[in-house]
Amino acid sequence: MSGAPGRLVLLGHPVGHSLSPAMQNAALRAAGIPLRYELMDIAPRRLEDAVLQLRRERAAGNVTIPHKEAMVALCDRLTGPAIATGAVNTFWTAVDGALVGDNTDVDGFDASARALVGRTAGRDVLLLGAGGGAAAVLVALKRWGVARISVYARTEPRARALIARTGAVATVIDDPTPVLPDITLLINATPIGLRDDPLPADPAALRRDCAVFDLVYRAGETALVRAARARGLSTADGLGMLVEQGALAFERWFGVAPDRDAMWSALPERR
């Protein structure tokens, strides 16, 4: 566990768009902890110096794009999920002074996707994307006892490297269309949907019992979630995962669970 953090930050570049400060500051207020969660916009070339300074301040916090992979080498100790994903999204200074790196995206995805699908064993999963979010998904899915995982990414070697790195039992496919009628869980881990892009996959091709989990979140929900729900499918966007990964980070920093309702109420309405 963390020693009492001297400072709480989000390291990224850019970071201005992040919902984490509103969410974490609501949790800090609800817990009566006199700290503020601050944005730290740090260009990649300044990351090492920034982390040195944060060590001196016994800081804790989160890490976002583009620093999650680089942070691995700057920590003294890594948790299992950070090692398995090759990415750090949460860090703290331990009582012995060591900087510890963790990846709460793994359990954040796990909790919110389990809430969506209920029974996990035997699922036939299609994962779209091969970046940091997809890595957290694959590591979590290793615990699920799924029947099959197919991974589609526009940069195919990235998908192969991801599977090798996470040790997941999964198949890289070069076209998602043929598997759509068979799968029982579609997971979008690409940023498609963040703006008014086309759908990452056509929900009309999915079975009635296929659940759809979109890691992307935005005000008004994503086009994928809306289209899948219009077909009567069970859906979740990335807000639940965002809250869970943030709540788990809070637990690592302070040793107590945050008030998740307070965190939710600091986020924009879904619709």
* Planar angle of CA 100, 103, 106, nearest 5 degrees: 155
Query: H or E segment at 76?
Result: none
**Residue selected from 105, 107, 110, 221 as contacting ligand NAP according to rule CB under 6 A:** 105
Where in 129-201 does DSSP place strands (E)? Answer: 148-152, 171-172, 185-188
* Burial of residue 94, with CB atoms counted within 10 A of its CB: 0-12 exposed, 13-18 middle, 19 or more buried: middle
Contact criterion met (CB below 8 Å) for 5 and 34: no
CA–CA separation, 30 and 262 (whole Å): 7
Is there binding between residue 186 and ligand NAP (CB under 6 A)? no
Residue span binding ligand NAP (CB under 6 A) among the ranges 91-99, 139-147, 209-217, 250-258: 209-217
Whether 142 is catalytic is no
* Planar angle of CA 128, 266, 193, nearest 5 degrees: 25
Contact map string, positions 28 to 57, toward ligand NAP, x by CB under 6 A: ------------------------------
Contact map string, positions 252 to 271, toward ligand NAP, x by CB under 6 A: --------------------
**Residue selected from 84, 153, 206, 210 as contacting ligand NAP according to rule CB under 6 A:** 153
Catalytic residue among 7, 58, 67, 68: 68
Is there binding between residue 12 and ligand NAP (CB under 6 A)? no
Tally of CA atoms within 13 A in the half-sphere of 246 that contains its CB: 31
Q: Using the 8-state DSSP alphabet, how is residue 94 labeled?
A: B
**Residue selected from 30, 35, 83, 191 as contacting ligand NAP according to rule CB under 6 A:** 191
CA–CA separation, 182 and 24 (whole Å): 39
Residue span binding ligand NAP (CB under 6 A) among the ranges 54-62, 71-79, 96-104, 188-196: 188-196
Backbone angles phi, psi at 73, to 5 degrees: -75, -15
Rounded to the nearest angstrom, the gap between the alpha carbon of residue 93 and the centroid of all alpha carbons in its chain is 22
The counts of H helices and E strands in the chain are: 10, 12
CB-nearer residue toward ligand NAP: 94 or 161 = 161
**Number of residues forming the site for ligand NAP (CB under 6 A):** 25
**Residue selected from 151, 189, 210, 248 as contacting ligand NAP according to rule CB under 6 A:** 189
- C-beta of 155: minimal distance to ligand NAP in Å? 3
Is there binding between residue 150 and ligand NAP (CB under 6 A)? no
Active site residue ranges: 68
The contact set with ligand NAP (CB under 6 A) reads 65, 105, 108, 129-134, 153-155, 158, 189-192, 194, 215-217, 238, 241-242, 245
